[in-house]
Copies of this chain bind each other. A is one copy, B any other.
Amino acid sequence: MQRTDLNSLFDKAIVNVNGNLTTPQNAQISVFDRGFLYGDSIYEVTFSDSRSVVFLEEHLDRLENSAALIGLPLFYSRAEIKTEILKTLKQSNLDRTYIRIIVTRGDGNITLDPLECKNNNLVIIVRPLEPYPQNWYQEGVSLCFVSIIRNDRKSVDPNAKSGNYLNNVLAIKEAKERGYFDALMINKDGLVTEGTTFNIWIVKNNTFITPHLNSGLLKGITRTKLLEICREKNLKFEESELTPSDFLDADEVFLTSSTKGMVPVNKVDSKEFDVNSFKNFQMLKGLYQELIDSIKSNEDYRY
């Protein structure tokens, strides 16, 4: 069995565990933590650029929403979490970072009963964010619909960004084994929901269309920002019920994620797309980049 040297794998990374800054190799959590035992945790992933955290308030809003959706009491205040994030970033001395914030339902007795929860464990992972491969953005990536059905909202609501991610692990595993970059997941009614770590969009007749939240998916922050841009700029858009066949019939397809941004899709199942023809995608991508650039000047999220 090949053990990983986490300090060399995550060179220059820094981890905050309940306020204590440490190296990746020393960043540990109790085996009695409910995040470890049950995936009973919530998390957020964002990034910083030019020493400024992108959409920090929006991510903290969503963290609080995830906590509410699974009834996880937050013993850290929003201000405390923000302070710890900025403290970790400052210590990293990195300009551009990946930021993962995890809050668990704490540790204590081994019992499924969450009402015995008396504390949280807060983990913040900061590491250098290298640019993703240029060919993702120039040539696009391939996706396929997989047999794994997205968790139902009445079982584990996909809109709670939780530590129960096996559903998505199984989906990407199937896609990778079939030679695709990643997976698209449908719900039990056959409606398209989202990818494993991203929202999905199509363009049809110059209208931007993304699955409606009622289909059961995470309310992505990039997704929300793009809908706001569409509204402001009077671009045609819809949140709709989409089926896989809508993708085969689409003019353009792209995915959105906080860290990856907007990535064109060159293939859905066996249907291929010419990403060089994605005019609407390119136009919206330009507007989104303008938004990202404009927020870097916000002093509240600088470190």
Contact = CB atoms under 8 A, between A and B. Distances in A.
Oligomeric state, in copies: 2
Contact of A2 (B25, B118, B148): B118
A35 interface: yes
Given A29-B36, A164-B164, A115 B71 contact: no
Given A1-B118, A27-B31, A110-B125, A40 B169 contact: yes
B3 A32 contact: no
Contacts of A152: 149, 152, 155, 188
Contact of A6 (B17, B32, B37): B32
Interface string A138-167: 000000000111111011100000111111
A168 interface: yes
Contact of A115 (B105, B173, B188): B173
Interface in A115-130: 115, 118-120, 123, 125
B31 A75 contact: no
Contact of A151 (B40, B108, B123, B151): B151
A4 B121 CA distance: 11
A271 interface: no
Interface in A1-29: 1-4, 6, 9-10, 15, 17, 24-25, 27-29
A155 to B, nearest CB: 5
A24 B110 CA distance: 12
Interface string A24-51: 1101111111011111110000000000
A108 B4 contact: yes
Nearest to A185: B155
Contacts of A162: 166
A196 to B, nearest CB: 6
Nearest 10 CB-CB pairings of A with B: A39-B39, A28-B28, A38-B165, A1-B75, A164-B166, A149-B154, A2-B118, A164-B164, A27-B31, A4-B108
27 contacts: A1-B119, A4-B119, A6-B30, A9-B109, A10-B32, A29-B30, A31-B125, A36-B163, A38-B163, A38-B165, A38-B168, A39-B163, A40-B166, A105-B169, A112-B165, A112-B168, A112-B196, A148-B154, A149-B154, A149-B155, A152-B152, A152-B155, A155-B155, A155-B167, A156-B164, A156-B166, A188-B188
